[in-house]
């Protein structure tokens, strides 16, 4: 049973209460050409999943709090819902069909990575979330739950990192961030 599962997701209501977010009806988008961010192999919408349907970030990005690689969810996470949820509009149906086909053919979509720091920089993602809280995603990633397509909001440049470290009285020694 999937719809009750969505409603019963632990934390979904609490998330809405904490952030004061109302269930925002996501707009119908017929032209994707003008959206910010790279075009992904499947038009997966955060404004629908996280904004309208209030699925907590952690439901899909659960590894953010435990490992240094936040990770993109596997198809198994998607198909748990999309075996039953086929979509309410023709464009949703067409995109969800891609998810089902990928699952059947065992060909996971090759999501284009958006955020990345260079290899000579150490960025322990999970330590930040532990220190700044589970609601801190917006501080660095912007208002993802309103994005039809994810794009980079922060520069991820050294000055951006150091500014926040100074504000939070975290060490800014070169060796903290550079090997
Ligand atoms: C239903 C599953 C799901 C939920 C819920 C979800 N995401 Fe995602 N997220 C994905 C998938 C799939 C991708 C890769 C495709 C894309 O970029 O849209 C992704 C990509 C991202 C990226 C870009 C990763 C990169 O390559 O840099 C960020 C940042 C992100 N999500 C943050 C969030 C935040 C913050 C929330 C909660 C407001 C959230 N996500 C909720 C599935 C989810
Ligand atoms: C907890 C349940 C749930 C999970 C998990 C989930 N979805 Fe969805 N998804 C939905 C719902 C609800 C809709 C809205 C369906 C509608 O009314 O058209 C939706 C819609 C979609 C659509 C149509 C366009 C859009 O994004 O709204 C796509 C594509 C999609 N999902 C892909 C994915 C992918 C890829 C994953 C795994 C990374 C995933 N979904 C995980 C519930 C889920
Ligand atoms: C202090 C800033 C900061 C916070 C807070 C933060 N992120 Fe990130 N996130 C980053 C940076 C920087 C990267 C790129 C990391 C890299 O290249 O190793 C990233 C990468 C990601 C990615 C892509 C990683 C991948 O494996 O492809 C996802 C997904 C993501 N973040 C989700 C989240 C979610 C969900 C939250 C909230 C729970 C969150 N982030 C909180 C800065 C942050
Ligand atoms: C929004 C604020 C914020 C931003 C932006 C930010 N950090 Fe941090 N960072 C913190 C906080 C707070 C801690 C302390 C975590 C703790 O106490 O465990 C921290 C800790 C760290 C640590 C571990 C420090 C140690 O003592 O071992 C590293 C490494 C680090 N950050 C690198 C980066 C890099 C690289 C960037 C930019 C790509 C960045 N941070 C951006 C707030 C931030
Ligand atoms: C809080 C994390 C952080 C600290 C502290 C830090 N850096 Fe960086 N540094 C970064 C990040 C992230 C980048 C990559 C993005 C960029 O080039 O701005 C970077 C890039 C660089 C580069 C390459 C610049 C380029 O244009 O390619 C040099 C050189 C550098 N840092 C030197 C230093 C020195 C020297 C210190 C100590 C005084 C220092 N960094 C402290 C995060 C940090």
Q: pLDDT tens digit string along 87-113?
A: 999 999 999 999 999 999 999 999 999
pLDDT tens for 51-76 read 999 999 999 998 776 665 558 999 99
- Rounded to whole angstroms, how far apart are CA atoms 56 and 137? 11
Q: What's residue 54's pLDDT? A: 95
| Residue with CA closest to ligand 2 atom 38 | 78
Q: Which atom of ligand 3 is nearest to the CA of 136?
A: 5
130 within ligand 3 shell (Cβ under 6 A): no
- The ligand with the least distance to the CA atom of 125 is 3
pLDDT tens for 143-160 read 999 999 999 999 999 999
Ligand 1 centroid distance, CA of 63 (Å)? 12
Q: Judge contact between 12 and 54, C-beta under 8 A.
A: yes
Ligand 2 centroid distance, CA of 126 (Å)? 26
- 20 pLDDT above the threshold of 50: no
- Rounded to whole angstroms, how far apart are CA atoms 79 and 96? 10
Q: Which atom of ligand 5 is nearest to the CA of 171?
A: 5
- Rounded to whole angstroms, how far apart are CA atoms 73 and 14? 22
Q: What's residue 118's pLDDT? A: 96
163 within ligand 4 shell (Cβ under 6 A): no
């Amino acid at each position: 049973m999937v719809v009750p599962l969505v409603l019963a997701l632990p934390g979904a209501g609490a998330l809405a209460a904490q952030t004061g977010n109302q269930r925002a009806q996501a707009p119908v988008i017929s032209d994707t050409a003008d959206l910010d961010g790279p075009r992904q192999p499947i038009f997966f919408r955060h404004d629908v999943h996280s904004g309208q349907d209030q699925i907590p970030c952690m439901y899909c990005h659960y590894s953010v709090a435990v490992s240094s690689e936040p990770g993109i969810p596997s198809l198994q996470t998607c198909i748990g819902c999309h075996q039953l949820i086929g979509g309410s509009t023709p464009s949703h149906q067409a995109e969800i069909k891609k998810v089902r086909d990928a699952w059947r053919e065992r060909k996971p979509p090759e999501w284009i990575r958006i955020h990345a720091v260079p290899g000579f920089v150490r960025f322990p993602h999970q330590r930040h979330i532990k220190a700044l809280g589970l609601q801190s995603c917006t501080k660095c990633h912007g208002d993802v739950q309103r994005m039809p397509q994810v794009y980079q909001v922060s520069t991820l440049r050294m000055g951006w990192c150091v500014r926040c470290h100074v504000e939070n009285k975290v060490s800014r020694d070169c060796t903290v961030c550079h090997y």
